Amino acid sequence: TYDYALDRDCTTLSRHILEQLQSFGPDAQDLSALMTRIGLAGKLIARRLSRADLVEGALGFTGDTNVQGEEVKKMDIYANEVFIAVFKQSGLVCQLASEEMEKPYYIPENCPIGRYALLYDPIDGSSNVDINLNVGSIFSIRQQTGEDPDQNGANLLQDGHQQLAAGYILYGPSVVLVYSIGKGVHAFTLDPSLGEFILSSESIQVPKHGPVYSVNEGNFWQWDEALRDFTRYVHRHEGYTARYSGALVGDFHRILLQGGVFIYPGTVEKPDGKLRLLYESAPLAFLLEQAGGAASTGKHPLLDVVPDYLHARTPLIIGSTEDVALVKSFIDERV
Ligand code: AHM
Ligand code: MG
């Protein structure tokens, strides 16, 4: 019969959330609606990426630099605006904060009832855009709480445990959306013929150990000696292999499924590394802890860190528990 195939094709994002929460109450309805909209953002971005070479003005730089001092790509701006457009008039989100905006974007008409804040990196791994390699979007949903008198995101400076939901969209050969609402980690694959994200892997668990170490070794001489010790160790031992794509979401996805460790350490130029806590590291740490892995700054569990600024960075060591512990052991030896 068709039952199995039809049932599988009906496990959309929104239905999955309602099932997970075993409720049709307001919170479940809200989270389900939020996730459906994030899915819509993902579809819009995927559509533009999939034919970017053919669309005038889709590729290349805008000529501006963002608050991080990085050159802005046209695709960064497009994707940033997609999220804003999708959440306007949603009644759900009062405040959006992203890598591409110095200050949060408020949607005042949503604020009386909008109970959530969305933090996101619209295009992660932008350097891959112009060469048609995988990129991603990362998102984190928090309760809209606290005061933000200067509208600079002061109310968002919370630790990572406060996240209600987190996830990412990977724009690869397939478009995959991975999310957690604190009840395991689940992956959905976009079926282009349906225009829907359909459940493809449920309750993903990261292996306790994996072969991959993923770090930009071009920065070797900018690292602390402890990380050089770790790298020398993996060079000298069998069973390790290096993978680094320049797009965190892709490298992270590999590790989630196959195990290993991703590292973006502090460097001489960037003592706190490159990755931003609130919309890059913390959402991925939330996911990985849900999948049975670990995330650390090298000094503290990553989810414990409270940033002092919306765009604050932290070093990131994330992956299988045994591999994160191995990196940590070299750090602890040098303390
Ligand atoms: P972006 O969000 O501005 O693209 O920056 C984040 C990206 C990550 O995806 C990736 O892991 C890292 O920057 C690569 O940086 P580097 O080239 O310094 O290794
Ligand atoms: Mg990024």
pTM (two decimals)? 0.96
Atom 5 of ligand 1 has which residue's CA nearest to it? 125
User: Atom 19 in ligand 1: which residue has the minimum CA distance?
Assistant: 216
Binding residues, as ranges, are 99, 121, 123-127, 216, 244, 274, 280
Cα separation, 235 vs 319, whole angstroms? 19
* Atom 17 (ligand 1) nearest CA: 246
| Interatomic CA distance for residues 270 and 17, integer angstroms | 39
CA-nearest residue for atom 14, ligand 1, is 246
Per-residue pLDDT 10s for the chain (335 aa) are: 677 778 777 899 989 999 988 877 788 899 999 999 999 999 999 999 999 888 888 899 998 888 888 888 999 999 999 999 999 988 999 999 999 999 999 998 888 777 999 999 999 999 999 999 999 999 999 999 999 999 999 999 999 999 999 999 999 999 999 999 999 999 999 999 999 999 999 999 999 999 999 999 999 999 999 999 999 999 999 999 999 999 999 999 999 999 999 999 999 999 999 999 999 999 999 999 999 999 999 999 999 999 999 999 999 999 999 999 999 999 999 88
Q: Which residues contact 145 (CB under 8 A, 6 or more apart)?
A: 155
What's the CA-to-centroid distance between 247 and ligand 2, angstroms? 8
**Nearest of 283, 220, 219, 228 to residue 252 by alpha carbon:** 283
ipTM: 0.97
Give burial (CB, 10 Å; 0-12/13-18/19+) of 193: exposed
Residues with CB under 6 A from ligand 1: 70, 99, 121, 124-126, 216, 246-248, 274
Q: Which atom of ligand 1 is nearest to the CA of 127?
A: 4
